Chain A
Amino acid sequence: MEKRHPRILFRKRLKELRADVEQMGKEALSAYRDSIKVLLKYDEEKIKRIVETADKIDEMNYNLEHKTLSVIASEQPVAGDLRFIETCIKVGGHLKRIGYLASNITEVAKKIKDEEVPEKPMDDIIHMADIVENMVSKSLAAFLGQNMDIARELRRDDDKVDDLFDRALKDITQSMFDDQETISYLVYLLFLARILERIADRAENIGDRTIFMITCKKP
């Protein structure tokens, strides 16, 4: 057998990239969780922190890109290593977007904080928000653990979110018909449903990138 040359420095740099993505994922997930909390119980301080976290994730994403470019230039990775690095860049982009979408949720929270939101559409939204939180969490587990099964589950979860989104639209518009006074703030609930659906898409995409990283095939 040939002498093993583990490329110690290179392996260390790959581990660092993984740790960076993991950290970005934690920040994004925490920003998202907090944004849902703020929706249910308005909290100015928390909103401030969420907005700061979104900017922080953006900053981390630039750093991640710098690091990946440097690893590509100096180590000239191929095969699984190259696919991993490419996926880090893609996942970083999705996490950054999730951070900003969480920040957008706080905008909605500001608009509806003093309103009496009808129960039915709010239930739809909360149900969606739960699944989406689980999806973001799963997407990180899929990527970090290179787990195809979890990545595939995300596709099914996203279908569920899409169904709930359709139902939420129906319930929101029904509430608007029932009481036209509510339109001025229920329209923000429509935005909210849309934001949640987009976060679910991002999580599903992270799963898809994970499948591509492992198989080099379109999922």
Chain B
Amino acid sequence: MEYIIEVEDLNVYFDELHILKNINIKIPKNAVTSLIGPSGCGKSTFIRTLNRMNDLISTFRRDGTVLLDGENIYNPKVDVVNLRKRVGMVFQKPNPFPKSIFDNVAYGLRVHGINDKDVLAQKVEEALKSAALWEEVENILEKSAMGLSGGQQQRLCIARTIAVEPDVILMDEPCSALDPISTTKIEDLIHKLKKDYTIIIVTHNMQQATRVSKYTAFFLHGEIVESGKTDQIFLEPTDNRTEDYITGRFG
């Protein structure tokens, strides 16, 4: 199996708080990996270490390595803007910019120096099609993104992320603010996208984890208790703590 991300002995601290403890995990390429675990267990902190979003927090410290395609992303020589182009992120609440639909998707492209109108138009269309939003917005591209529904806004955010052609897409509870139909659309989209991208999704919805992901890791108190194939985790977990969590005995 080919792994795109390899995390070795990762520890993360905010001030004196030891948030992630000795994390070791390999993320398979072009597959969906779910991260599950109770609130405060470190899932979000973990995915934020994968594109160095935690660097923005002054009290953040870490040791251990995160390899992206074999290269340590915490190497001082790494260009963080370029890293975040390769490892994109979609958040819990849709956060479109207060701009037009077109400009939202074109934003990252422009940041990365693409200004040719035709190229932009083509890439925006491709991204919106990939995000299964094109047919709903092709005639209103110049309208404000803020007028879209929550589900459409979330797909727009996914379009914005994939416009810059990342390798990895991090999704932090991307459906928790959406209604069931919009959730289904995002899940269908995840299925479609895994062909071209590696997706890591944080979810509190166990059924969503079983539906969308091939691999699952269970976090508890900043540690990975168990990780492996989703089928195995949800059918025959090996650790009692995993069983207790997924069957709802605590959380």
Contact = CB atoms under 8 A, between A and B. Distances in A.
Interface of A: 1-7, 10, 76-83, 215-216
Interface residues of B, number: 16
A5 B248 contact: yes
A48 B206 CA distance: 50
A81 B247 contact: yes
B206 A76 contact: yes
B251 interface: yes
Contacts of A80: 243, 247
Given A78-B210, A79-B243, A80-B243, A6 B235 contact: no
B108 interface: no
Contacts of B249: 4-7
Given A77-B247, A80-B243, A82-B235, 17 more contacts: A2-B250, A2-B251, A3-B251, A5-B248, A5-B249, A5-B250, A7-B249, A10-B248, A76-B206, A78-B234, A78-B235, A78-B246, A79-B242, A80-B247, A82-B234, A83-B236, A216-B236
Interface of B: 38, 206-207, 210, 234-237, 242-243, 246-251
B232 to A, nearest CB: 9
Contacts of B246: 78-79
Nearest to B210: A78
A3 B39 CA distance: 11
Contacts of B235: 78-79, 82-83, 216
B203 to A, nearest CB: 14
Counting from the closest, the 8 A-B pairs by CB-CB distance are A216-B236, A2-B250, A7-B248, A78-B234, A81-B247, A78-B246, A79-B243, A4-B250
B244 to A, nearest CB: 9
